[in-house]
Structure 1
């Protein structure tokens, strides 16, 4: 096994060779104590937080000019917990471009973003980076103050200006230079900009003055996102920024980011969002990075065409090789003339192999989810009669709700955060009881609810298999292996501690756990968080084929479009049916926000 020192030496050798070849500025970065110390200031500014830098080894060679606004890194390799995620690949990030980073769950997308955010890769010092990876800390600062406080350069200049202005000579030329810089930074409108960003993300004036410690983790994540947008850095790194947003805020963010004119790298599972925002797609597959031009739909089309051509070339080459080998085997020892032809074919074959043969297309392994069909229950299965609910009687969320949900219902609940979508699901399960009216459930109805906090309740020291055997005691191990395998947790992933699984893999464990109960009705609250696009499509297919009832809360327009037959709007203490599809509703939200 090659040691870290040897790896670093090899990378430095490669850097020297590259410098010799092109005379370009070259740098190599590796995760070491020096790199860790060097990135402390950056990581604080970027909100990266606890870096666990020793778990990663990241090397690369900067082959673009150190003063350029474009970045090209060659010989990029990334290792995490001893596993190779990227091996000897290239990354190109051009100023003014917005990149969507795609790849299957567990391939290392978030790890790559963290390495970029921590400057473990050789990114020129003149380019500031903001990596959004966690919510803002709970403190006594208001949400508006928390957004503005992140602009350290502006605050520093304002303090210097105060000191200089208090001097006898009035500050002179140095003060003028500071004012010029502040004007460039538009400091006079800083508060207005911060307030507008927060408003777009769902914070009214009252919420903007509320202390950050009085918000939930999801809302503090929104404040962290507002900070990132307010900073307007040269390189903005966003990991699933829509996870804690409602549809309204998703629409606003999409419009905001499509005008971001620096370098954006975003990990997102929402195809609709990637289509609206991205100018390029970076696909992580087979430990390599491949860049495509265009948004998500264009990437799918281009990749499909390239793979089709590659497979044609691969098949043609394989047929040629097979034919030549057969000829050599038959006539290599025949008459002089045939032997010469056989030798000629041997030379042709060797030349083809030296030139590099076309590889077979590596298909992403498509995961097939499956929910067990449950048959029918006579309606009404779930009935709301004159239901009124509020956490306190003087602050009602719903008033006089009347509706029914049956096993053929496919409903998407939409509406702003705080309107009560998750509350409605809890009323359906019986976790909450109405203040007035009645919720009737069929005696034999089995309901399973998925919500994003379930993964937080997993004992991550256990393996997926141990967790399932503990939950469903008395079940045979082989049966349980099959149950988790159906949701893409196979091989070593079944027996390793769940703390070593990606967020998406842990979400799949929860789906396996829910599906094993064979529910007749699924209540899904943001089921797509942390799932890759392929897994979401698989989930959509499984839900379409399943014969049970579904109530869905999601910020993923495409998933709603695939599985929902009805859109119900939760707003103003009522639940009303939207006449039209989810894309009509998206257009309505844009118009409402004046976008």
Structure 2
């Protein structure tokens, strides 16, 4: 159990939460929600012991699993050992035991200590620990052949997965996970959902993935109005209950205000007259009817709307037989895209899905001209203009500038008012527009790129994982904007709700190749279950 008692946290004049007392109990899975800036990550750091509250106390179990974000800390550690380190007691015992066994002359005292250590290792299931760690790694897509390699051989997204396995390892009494679905593909997200649903301890998780929260969570701890309120049910249940609760209070306050106005009119008319006792009674009634104070919500919703200066021709892009390969360290060549063809027509909303490493980003980079295919051609249609949201979008924002100056560098004739208006819609109001680009958070950087796309008014949008680091309100705003967009959109995303809401055509990258399906995401899933005809992929293999 995790117990929070009278916790307050503020930064300067801004109070995130005040005098909060809540309990997170075993066998319950809590989603920690709230808009960017509400204090989710700060509250999680307090639970982890990485940050102190201004007031109050926190009690957590001794054995706790934490998803760390420091991917580079374990660069010189074997991958499987990084996972084993998730059980600190076991890892300390294993290290001490190995040092003692390395001694040439064991003393009696050392022998006794070895016996104690073997007991600790047995209590912590240490003799099957490597097998359990290997199963976790395989579940999140780390091949067995890599388990004994050093962490520094992995790209950052796979390092993050190893840290997720570390948090899950060793049967922790409580799990604290901050954005665990970042860098996970759909298959790994499904695996994580199943793992967490079967977890019997206390789970507290932050995620911008609404589908994930709805699948996993039994309760939602929502940070808003400078407090934390726990709702029973998943994310959608919380939104409904929160809306109803606030609506009820607002309705009651309106009724109270109406009644107060009537009573005040009576008091004003007869206050000094013969009905003084009735007047006093009504004054007391006015005090009793004091409306319930409603603190201002922290929720801020960006306004995203993509326009196009002019429509493209009917054929937006014609792809003919493109291929792309990458050389491997062992001398082989990995062909990720092989003889792929497609025609994109005006107004299509294409969702590109598939596990990591199968070439989704490579495909988009070829579409926008950042990568040249090894073979085949890509022809851009008449009047087609493309706006691109890269997966590593923060690297595309020049440092040493204000957000306003960076956006202005893409402006041709738009004045200050238009640029300020765009930034305001993306929650860069007032002095926020003068924030240095070096200091932008992931969510702020993503919203700044969105402002650029809105400014450019392209008729084709190519978006690579645009929901990473966006809060749920921004993800919802993006989905609605793409739905209403009159141009053509090609979107890579692991956010199932976004793909489900937006896509009218699915391109699925699989181990066997690329499948092209004309229909929605749900229709695609149904077709897989019922063996309905899909443009089936060809087998792709590594070639020497």
Aligned counterpart in structure 2 of residue 146 of structure 1, from 57, 73, 82? 82
Aligned to 2:5: 73
SS across alignment from 1:395: strand
Aligned to 2:93: 157
Tell me, yes or no, if the aligned pair for 2:315 and 2:346 is still in contact at 8 Å: no
Q: Residues 438 and 187 of structure 1: is their aligned pair in 2 closer, same or farther, counting only changes over 3 Å?
A: same
Aligned to 2:311: 376
Q: Residues 125 and 517 of structure 1: is their aligned pair in 2 closer, same or farther, counting only changes over 3 Å?
A: closer
Tell me, yes or no, if the aligned pair for 1:251 and 1:589 is still in contact at 8 Å: no
Tell me, yes or no, if the aligned pair for 1:568 and 1:576 is still in contact at 8 Å: yes
* RMSD of equivalent CA atoms: 2.9
> How far apart in 2 are the matches of 1:404 and 1:123?
57
Matching of residue 134 in structure 1 with residue 66 in structure 2: no
> How far apart in 2 are the matches of 1:175 and 1:466?
64
Tell me, yes or no, if the aligned pair for 1:283 and 1:289 is still in contact at 8 Å: yes
Aligned counterpart in structure 1 of residue 15 of structure 2, from 72, 84, 108? 84
Q: Residues 168 and 492 of structure 1: is their aligned pair in 2 closer, same or farther, counting only changes over 3 Å?
A: closer
Q: Residues 321 and 479 of structure 1: is their aligned pair in 2 closer, same or farther, counting only changes over 3 Å?
A: same
Range that drifts further, 529-538 or 163-172: 163-172
In the TM superposition, 1:157-306 aligns within 5 A as 157-161=93-97, 163=100, 167=106, 177-306=116-245
Range that drifts further, 571-580 or 437-446: 571-580
> How far apart in 1 are the matches of 2:63 and 2:418?
52
Matching of residue 391 in structure 1 with residue 326 in structure 2: yes
Aligned to 2:284: 347
Cα offset for 1:89? 2.5
> How far apart in 2 are the matches of 1:70 and 1:228?
17
Cα offset for 1:380? 1.9
Once the two structures are superposed, residues 131-181 of structure 1 have per-residue CA deviations (whole angstroms, 9 ceiling, x without a partner) of 324142262433223222443321322345564998566978765554443
Aligned to 1:458: 397
Aligned to 1:5: none
SS across alignment from 1:233: coil
Q: Residues 109 and 217 of structure 1: is their aligned pair in 2 closer, same or farther, counting only changes over 3 Å?
A: same
Aligned to 1:314: 253
> How far apart in 1 are the matches of 2:229 and 2:399?
33
> How far apart in 2 are the matches of 1:360 and 1:136?
39
Matching of residue 411 in structure 1 with residue 411 in structure 2: no
SS across alignment from 2:409: helix
Matching of residue 96 in structure 1 with residue 27 in structure 2: yes
Q: Residues 310 and 499 of structure 1: is their aligned pair in 2 closer, same or farther, counting only changes over 3 Å?
A: farther
Runs of at least 5 residues in structure 2 that lack an aligned partner in the other structure? 531-544
Aligned to 1:323: 262
Q: Residues 372 and 336 of structure 1: is their aligned pair in 2 closer, same or farther, counting only changes over 3 Å?
A: same
Cα offset for 1:283? 0.9
SS across alignment from 1:381: strand
Cα offset for 1:578? 4.0
Tell me, yes or no, if the aligned pair for 1:99 and 1:279 is still in contact at 8 Å: yes
Range that drifts further, 413-422 or 164-173: 164-173
Q: Residues 191 and 586 of structure 1: is their aligned pair in 2 closer, same or farther, counting only changes over 3 Å?
A: farther
Matching of residue 400 in structure 1 with residue 339 in structure 2: yes
Q: Residues 587 and 267 of structure 1: is their aligned pair in 2 closer, same or farther, counting only changes over 3 Å?
A: farther
Q: Residues 500 and 558 of structure 1: is their aligned pair in 2 closer, same or farther, counting only changes over 3 Å?
A: same
> How far apart in 2 are the matches of 1:81 and 1:433?
51
Question: TM-score normalised to the size of structure 2?
Answer: 0.87
Tell me, yes or no, if the aligned pair for 1:397 and 1:573 is still in contact at 8 Å: no
Range that drifts further, 437-446 or 569-578: 569-578
Once the two structures are superposed, residues 448-495 of structure 1 have per-residue CA deviations (whole angstroms, 9 ceiling, x without a partner) of 111231124434543321221234366422221012122232123212
> How far apart in 2 are the matches of 1:159 and 1:296?
43
Range that drifts further, 322-331 or 176-185: 176-185
Cα offset for 1:125? 7.0
Tell me, yes or no, if the aligned pair for 2:9 and 2:18 is still in contact at 8 Å: yes
Question: TM-score normalised to the size of structure 1?
Answer: 0.80
> How far apart in 1 are the matches of 2:439 and 2:14?
12
Aligned to 2:38: 107
Tell me, yes or no, if the aligned pair for 1:135 and 1:218 is still in contact at 8 Å: no
Aligned to 1:359: 294
SS across alignment from 1:336: coil
> How far apart in 2 are the matches of 1:217 and 1:515?
30
> How far apart in 1 are the matches of 2:62 and 2:181?
25
Q: Residues 540 and 547 of structure 1: is their aligned pair in 2 closer, same or farther, counting only changes over 3 Å?
A: same
Range that drifts further, 385-394 or 288-297: 385-394
Matching of residue 574 in structure 1 with residue 496 in structure 2: no
Tell me, yes or no, if the aligned pair for 1:89 and 1:288 is still in contact at 8 Å: yes
SS across alignment from 1:123: strand
Aligned to 1:53: none
Tell me, yes or no, if the aligned pair for 2:4 and 2:20 is still in contact at 8 Å: no
> How far apart in 2 are the matches of 1:469 and 1:133?
37
> How far apart in 1 are the matches of 2:29 and 2:528?
24
Range that drifts further, 432-441 or 234-243: 234-243
Give aligned pairs, total.
Answer: 518
Cα offset for 1:584? 6.6
Q: Residues 587 and 403 of structure 1: is their aligned pair in 2 closer, same or farther, counting only changes over 3 Å?
A: closer
Cα offset for 1:277? 1.2
Tell me, yes or no, if the aligned pair for 1:251 and 1:586 is still in contact at 8 Å: no
> How far apart in 2 are the matches of 1:343 and 1:500?
59
